[in-house]
Structure formats: C-alpha cells, structure tokens
Amino acid sequence: MRALDFNNKWVLVTGASSGLGYEMAQQLAHQHHANLIIAARRADKLHQLKADLEHDANVQVKVIVADLSVPEDVERLISGCLNGQELYAAVLNAGITHFGPHAELSQHAFELLVQTNVISVVRLTGELVKHFEQTRSEGGIMIVSSMAGIFPVPYQAAYSGTKSFLIGFANALAHEIQSRVLSLTIFAPGGIVTEMTATEQFNDLQSWLMPVRQAAKEGIYALKTRKFNYVPGAINRVGNVFMKLLPKKMIISILAKTYQRSLSKVNKKGKIQ
C-alpha cells in the first residue's frame, strides 16, 4: 500500500485536549495540512484548539465533546465521524491510567478505565473498519497502546492489562481486514511527558519519559507509512528487542522495584493516603 497523504483529508484524533493527542493534532494540522475531528471530554480546551488551528494552520476542525467512558458518547462520536465529511484516518489515543497499588483502585474507577481504554476503542475500531471496507475508501486507523502492554508495569496493573488487550486485539483484527487500501497500526510508546505523568508519583521516572513532540512525530510517521506494530524511539526499540531475550519475571521485578521507590518517596511526604 502507498503511504497515506493527510493533506486536506479528515483525520479523527481522540484524547485531543492534552498530551499526545493534542500534539498529534497540532502536527497533523501544521505539518500535514489535515482537517481534524478532535474529540475529548473538555469542551473548553477543544474549542480553544479548534480556534488556534483554524487560525494558525488554516485547516477545518470539527469538535466532538465526548467522554469515552460513556457508551452513549461513543455512539455519538461514531456518528459524528462518519457523517458530514469523508473520514480518511483515525488516531484512537484517548486513555486513562491508575498509578498505585491495584488494591487502591475502586471497582468504579476500574470500570471507567476499562470502558475508556478497551471497550470504546474496540467499538470505534469495529465501526471504522466496517465503514472503510463498505465504502472501499482508502484510509488508516492507529490504535495507541503502550510498551506497558508488552512488558506489564507493576503499580499500573490494570492499565497494563488494557494496553495488552489492545495489542492482541489489533494484531488479530488486522488480519481480518479485507480491504487492500486500509491499514491498522498499533503504536506502543513508552512513558511520555504529558499531564498523565506530570504528578509527583512519576518524579523519579521523568528520565525515562519521551518528549511528547517526538512521540507525536513518530506516531504520525507510523500511521502515514502504515506500520503494523511500532515502538517509537531508538532506545525503546533496542530495549524492546533486548528485553525479549531476558526472563519476563526478572524484567517485571526490576520495574516493580523502580516504581515502588517512586511511590514510596511520595508516601513518605504524605501525599498519598
């Protein structure tokens, strides 16, 4: 398949109000001249982003305020994407995490996490694939997973589980797609400097985090060139290969100690109860 060309095409970006989604929307508009459908929970941030991009990048922007933990909002997002413009590509980026002992994660919070990270993504992906195949139109879909889905991270156990599910789901689904002009990409970054990691719990882990601008650039590259599974960052890619040669239990044990130290320092300061 030829590479995607986003110029004057409509691209959906979920989780666009901050972090990786926000930066990908910026780069898609300014550098690739894409028209955007931006979705997230925070209406004020989305409308500000729309105003900025339409003024500075001279592109069209459609706002859909949606909480992907709410099934009705997911259905409204699907309808808004597939009606009113010809969708060309989608970046399914929205996600939430819990950083801390799994025992401290309430059932309600766990269900919100699964609905946002898994159920909404499966629903969106299924409907988008169906749309592209029925219309026989060219396009690409990118699911944002995480290296935590490849090497599970203690103290982010539920989050790791959701991201692992996405990798398994997308790898399998990709081989069911019949269209020769539709690609499904799995993007698995490590930690990124975003609002999600801008907490004291992550203070000792900051040196591991990739700048959001770099992660966004590589994500767009992976989508554009129709990569299948893509880990951004040369160090991450080398580490991903190297870690596969080591016992998984040992790697997870090292991660556990690192994350536990970071949490312990915050606990000692009385920031976490």
* Among candidate residues 179, 194, 177, 261, the one with its CA nearest the CA of residue 40: 194
Please give the full DSSP string across 31-96, using - where no structure is assigned: TT--EEEEEES-HHHHHHHHHHHHHHT---EEEEE--TTSHHHHHHHHHHHHSSS-EEEEEE----
136: left (phi over 0), alpha (psi -120 to 50) or beta: left
Residues 142, 187: contact at Cβ < 8 Å? yes
Task: Confirm whether 159 is a catalytic residue.
Answer: yes
Burial code of 75-92, b = ≥16 C-beta within 10 A, e = fewer?
A: eebbebbbeeeebbbbbb
Task: Confirm whether 163 is a catalytic residue.
Answer: yes
Active-site pick, 163, 224, 227, 259:
163
For residue 164, the surrounding DSSP H or E stretch is helix 157-174
Residues 236, 151: contact at Cβ < 8 Å? no
Distance from C-alpha of 136 to C-alpha of 110, rounded to nearest angstrom:
38
Residues 16, 46: contact at Cβ < 8 Å? yes
Distance from C-alpha of 220 to C-alpha of 7, rounded to nearest angstrom:
13
Distance from C-alpha of 121 to C-alpha of 114, rounded to nearest angstrom:
10
Active-site pick, 155, 159, 230, 259:
159
Positions marked catalytic: 159, 163
